[in-house]
């Protein structure tokens, strides 16, 4: 079983409204901490790095869920 870690930008230990990451073999798993049983996205390390870089550049519009 992989250890899921919360984003360092999350609101705190008891805040469940954040992104969680895990190393899953050769991929990076990304899931919503509010609904971990809903599944996850599996990205290669390169895809994950590109996603983070694009977010940091403001290249994506992020929408807050409810």
- The answer as to whether 63 is a domain residue is no
Q: Is 61 part of any domain? A: no
Residue range 5-64, pLDDT digits in tens:
987 777 666 666 788 999 999 999 999 888 889 999 999 999 999 999 998 898 887 676
Domain range enclosing 52: 5-56
SS3 letters across the chain: CCCCEECCCCCCCCCCCCEEEEEECCEEEEEECCCHHHCCEEEEHHHHHHHHHHHHCCCCCCCCCC
pLDDT at 26: 92
Does residue 12 form part of some domain? yes
Confidence (pLDDT) at 23: 95
Is residue 1 predicted with pLDDT exceeding 70?
Answer: no
Contact 21, 3 (CB under 8 A): no
């Amino acid at each position: 079983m992989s250890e899921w870690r919360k984003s360092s930008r999350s609101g705190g230990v008891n805040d469940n409204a954040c992104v969680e990451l895990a190393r899953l073999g050769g991929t990076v798993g990304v899931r919503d901490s509010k609904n971990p049983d809903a599944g996850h996205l599996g990205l290669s390390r390169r895809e994950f790095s590109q996603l983070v870089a694009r977010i940091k550049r403001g290249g994506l519009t992020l929408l807050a869920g409810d």
